[in-house]
Structure 1
Amino acid sequence: MKFAVLGGTGLIGSEIVTALTAAGHEALPHARSTGVDLLTGEGLAQALGGADAVIDATQSPTTDDASADFFRAATGNLLTAAEHAGVRHAVLLSIVGVDRVPDLGYYRAKVVQEELYRTGPVPFSIVRATQFFEYLAEIISWTGDRNTVRLPPTLLQPVAAADAARAVADIAAGAPLHGIRDVAGPDVIALDDIGRTTLAARGDDRTVTTDATAGPFALAPDHALTARDGALICPTRYGDWLTT
């Protein structure tokens, strides 16, 4: 099969390209750096020409409410071009819990994007992944200073990007779900405990203080960011990933 991967030069997009290629498919990465602009539509027709499926792993350049406007324009252009190109399967990479944390602007914007896929002209699958291992250090840094890191006890079920990418690739190569599938790691861990594990593995001697109000993930209700029943559970554990 031939795949067009939008956002294919980013962290998860490049992993999806690798997973598809390893499975024997033709997977081409597309982004602004390769001449494809979702906001203007430039390069989309060429990128989607001959593709059996398109995978949308793009991100908004902002994380506030303006991201909804980005997704409306970009997703509209992408799905219109996919329909014209005869693409048979459109796969959106989304986030576990987007519909359960309404106080986060970026999550509200992803809900808007998901709805565009549900009501769009191309058979679709929505793959919601939990937080990637690769981003946890950045998340921890949001509420840290020279001596202390403040983190809420919010429950996460993080996943390795490579594991999530293989799950996305498998779904994209199959029949459209016309629905949502969650993808997550094997363990549910509190964010403050993730912070302690991460700092210890990096030789960082700062203290992690549990603060139920610290950072954006403090806005998430219990289990809002963990996978629902029927999720694809990936094998790699965070502690093992840290050591390798």
Structure 2
Amino acid sequence: MKIAVIGGTGLIGSQVVKKLDAAGHEAVPHAPSTGVDVITGEGLAEALAGADVVVNLTNSPTFDDASQAFFRTSMDNILAASRDAGVGHAVILSIVGVDLVPDLGYYRAKALQEEILRAGPVPYSVVRATQFMEFVQPTLGMTTEGDTVRLPATPVQPIAAQDVSDAVAGVAAGAPLNGTLNIAGPDVFPLDELGRITLDARPDGRAVVTDETAGMFALAPGDALLAPADARIAPTRYRDWLA
């Protein structure tokens, strides 16, 4: 199959392209650097010409309320170009619990992206992943003040980007789900404990203080960010990934 991977040069996209190519498919990465602009629509018709599947791994440049405009415009453009090109399967990567955290503007935007896909003209699949292990360090940075990292005890279930790319590539190579696949890592941690584990393994002079009001994940209620019962559990454990 010919598979167009929009956002195919990023953390997940580049791995998805490699995995699909290794499986015998023709995976073509597309990004602004290859002349594709999902906001203006420039290059989309050419990128999707002859494609059987489109995988949309683009992301908003901001994580605030402005992200809604990005996902609305980009999805409208990608789906219209997919329809015109006769693409038979559209795949997006979303977030576990995205519809359970209404106080986060970025989560509302990703939920909107899912809604547009479901209502669109192309058979679809949604892959929802928990928080990436690769994003733990940036998360610590967002709430660092001097030598102190403030984190809530929000339960999280981190997953390795490699495992996410495995799932996305597998879904892209299969029949449309016309539904959602949830994927998650095998271990659940309170976010503050995860921060301490990370800094114990890679000490840099900072220490974690529990603060239930700190950072964006303080807005996630209860177990909203944890895998639902039907989730596929990936093999990579966080401590092994750190090592």
TM-score normalised by the shorter chain: which range applies?
A: over 0.9
**Alignment correspondent of 1:112:** 112
CA distance in 2, matches of 1:181, 1:54: 17
Query: Following the alignment from structure 1 to structure 2, what is the Cα–Cα distance between the partners of residues 195 and 85?
Result: 46
State percent identity of aligned pairs: 63
Aligned residue in 1 for 2:84: 84
d(CA) in 1 for partners of 2:221, 2:212:
11
Structure-1 residue corresponding to 2:27 = 27
CA shift at 1:33, angstroms? 1.0
**In the alignment, what sits opposite 1:140?**
140
Identify the residue that residue 197 of structure 2 maps to in structure 1.
197
Number of aligned residue pairs: give it. Answer: 243
- Extract unaligned runs of 5+ from structure 1: none
- Give the deviation of 1:181 after TM superposition: 1.1
Partner SS, residue 13 of structure 2? helix
CA–CA separation in structure 2 for the residues paired with 1:228 and 1:102:
18
Q: Give 3-state SS (helix, strand or coil) of 2:145's partner.
A: coil
CA shift for structure 1 position 172 = 1.1
Cα pair 1:8 1:29 within 8 Å, conserved: yes
TM-score by length of 2: 0.98
Which residue number corresponds to residue 241 of structure 2? Answer: 241
Aligned amino acid, residue 18 of structure 1: K
* Maintained 8 Å contact 1:153/1:212: yes
Secondary structure of 2:45's match? Answer: helix
* Alignment correspondent of 2:103: 103
RMSD across aligned C-alpha pairs, in angstroms?
A: 0.9
Judge conservation of contact 1:185–1:236 (CA < 8 Å) in 2. yes
Which residue number in structure 2 is paired with residue 61 of structure 1? 61
**Amino acid aligned to 1:150:** R
Q: Offset at 1:146?
A: 2.4
Contact 1:167 1:232 in 2 (8 A): no
Q: 2:231 maps to what in 1?
A: 231
Quick one: distance in 2 between partners of 1:176 and 1:184? Answer: 20
1:165-197 deviation line (CA, Å, top 9, x unaligned) = 111111111111111111111111111011001
Question: Residue type matched to 2:74 in 1?
Answer: A
In structure 2, distance between residues paired with 1:210 and 1:23: 45
**Unaligned 5+ residue runs, structure 2?**
none
Report the TM-score when normalising by structure 1: 0.97
> Which amino acid is 1:19 matched to?
K
- Cα deviations by residue, 1:184-219 (Å, 9 ceiling, x for unpaired): 111111110110011111122322111111101000
Q: What amino acid sits opposite 1:56 in the alignment? A: N
Q: Secondary structure in 1 aligned to 2:98?
A: coil
Kindly indicate whether the alpha-carbon contact (under 8 Å) linking 1:182 and 1:228 is maintained by their aligned counterparts in 2: yes
Structure 1 position 70, deviation (Å)? 1.1
SS of the aligned residue for 2:229 comes to coil
Whole-Å separation in 2 of the counterparts to 1:23 and 1:156: 32
